[in-house]
Structure 1
Amino acid sequence: MDLEIAALTRAEGLWFDDCGLVLQAETTIFRISREFLAVQSPIFRDMLSLPTHPDAETMDGCPFVLLPDSAEDVTVFLKALLYYDFFEPWPAKTTYPILAGVLRMSHKYEVDALRKRALVHLSSFHPTTLSGWDELVDKKCSWFDDLIDAGYSTIPLIILARQLSIDWILPVAFYRMYETTCENIVLDGRGNFELSGSDKLALVVASRLLETTEVTQILDFLWTPFSIKGCTSVHVNECTKVRTKCRRKAEYWRRRDAETASTMPLDLWNAADWQRLANDVCQICLSQMKTVHGEARRSLWARLPEMFELSDWTELEKMKAEALE
């Protein structure tokens, strides 16, 4: 029985008259090569290898498959398969809807090469090492900017990672929640995206640590010790006075209001701050402060997964390596 197609929309760039398979997702239809799709996906290969019943539905004279996926996801998935420049490897630009759709579909239909390409896009902007995090300073990511500009923060990303067990991106994704948003979005969600109750709780508990104890430890190099052994400042306690003045300023930086995102501890003291401080303290004090500050940042990074009730970095990196091998 040939189905009526008048009320359906042919997907632009994905309807080929010389191909013999029609797919439908929602009210959108696609006509592509049956053989090509079977080669790309073992799931489709198995599905299309089943014997066709004589009374099976057809469309435009072709075998017909109704998919349960969204039309948007099917569209980006097929375009990624058929047009190489539609979804190029990192660091090529892409959008979050394209990335998420390709990842969901390639995971579901076991298109490993495409899935790995999508995972590299995610992983490259969600490092598992502190050095990797520091390398991202001032770097842009087109698909991540999509989320922020739309006001979603990392909520859709966290939900996607939970659904597909991409746990190694979660520490940074959670951390960025408080870099890029405020509490009402965390608690109420945005649009159709809302975090699970357990993830909301983990974020709230971790935020208390990140905004208090962790900030204090990161800035401790400006307080402790009161006087650094071997200080060569010309005037007595001059370096100590400068450090104390800087700490007082830093206390203002950590202040916030309910409508803005927090200044997070890993970002509270940056290269420009060190440069200004270098002009006012001796080299011995500067070197000691950098050592203490670096140790505090490494300690925070090591504990970041635990704060969000995740496996440690060693286990997360193992998961990442297995997924990308």
Structure 2
Amino acid sequence: MYPTSLKAWDRLGYSRDIINLRAPPDVYPVFQILDLLKEIDAPWLVPAIMYLGCSNPIQRILDGVALGGPPELTPEKRVILIACPEQALGVESVLRFLKQRFPGCRAPEKCNTELLQLSVFIAENWSACRFPLEIWEESDWEVVAGDLCAECIGQCRKMHAKGRQEFWDRMPSIFGLNCKWYELEKLKKAALKP
């Protein structure tokens, strides 16, 4: 359910769920979930679950502590508070292809105009999005296919894929783990071994 590879994450189709996500009203118990993951010693779950949790504004996360009384602000919980804005910045990083101009472009004026319009549209309509892995989907490429030249589409797709992978690779450290995904996968296999 909570994979340790971007390919597996994409196969699970979280983007469909995330786009239609209705967060619980008022609060989100990120700190309580983090405590539970620590208690059951399941660090491989931390990045994916905290990614979903940190999509909430910091105030909702802080308001969620009321569910269990005043929390101790442990180093792990401080990391989560720092991770929230870093995750939001990840959206910009994944979308950096919108601000590029590519050598070999066959229609520079048209492509530059379209990329600028896309940037403005996303800024106006998706500025609160905190989901770097889902901000741009496969169907979005189909929508812009006739508006950008083939060279720009190809370069944009490469940059987008690279940005997503880079963000995914950073997720364990963003959420305070001093290990890589492959190490988390080993821990997962060892813990779930019959």
> Shorter chain as normaliser: what TM range?
0.7 to 0.9
Q: CA deviation at 1:128?
A: 0.7
Count residues with an aligned counterpart: 184
TM-score (norm 2): 0.82
SS of the equivalent of 1:127 reads coil
Q: Does 1:185 align with 2:60?
A: yes
CA contact (8 A) 2:91 2:130 kept: no
Task: Structure 1: give runs of 5+ residues left out of the alignment.
Answer: 1-123, 257-261
Task: Structure 2: give runs of 5+ residues left out of the alignment.
Answer: none
Per-residue CA deviations over 1:47-86 (Å, capped at 9, x if unaligned) read: xxxxxxxxxxxxxxxxxxxxxxxxxxxxxxxxxxxxxxxx
CA contact (8 A) 1:130 1:301 kept: yes
Q: What letter matches 2:112 in structure 1?
A: T
Distance in 1, Cα, partners of 2:77 & 2:126: 22
Q: CA deviation at 1:279?
A: 2.3
1:205 maps to: 82
1:37 maps to: none
1:229 maps to: 103
Q: What letter matches 1:240 in structure 2?
A: N
CA contact (8 A) 1:161 1:167 kept: yes
Q: Which has the higher contact order (CA 8 A, sep 6+)?
A: 2
Per-residue CA deviations over 1:136-177 (Å, capped at 9, x if unaligned) read: 22566xxxx9xx558545544322111011000001111111
Q: Kindly indicate which of the two structures has a greater share of residues assigned to helix.
A: 2
TM-score (norm 1): 0.51
1:318 maps to: 186
Distance in 1, Cα, partners of 2:103 & 2:99: 14
Which of residues 108, 112, 117 in structure 2 aligns to 1:245?
117
Distance in 2, Cα, partners of 1:278 & 1:194: 51
Distance in 1, Cα, partners of 2:71 & 2:13: 27
CA 1:215/1:195 → structure 2, altered by over 3 Å: closer, same or farther?
Answer: farther
**Percent identical:** 26
Q: Kindly indicate which of the two structures has a greater share of residues assigned to strand.
A: 1
Distance in 2, Cα, partners of 1:185 & 1:217: 24
CA 1:202/1:253 → structure 2, altered by over 3 Å: closer, same or farther?
Answer: farther
The alignment yields a C-alpha RMSD, in angstroms, of 2.4
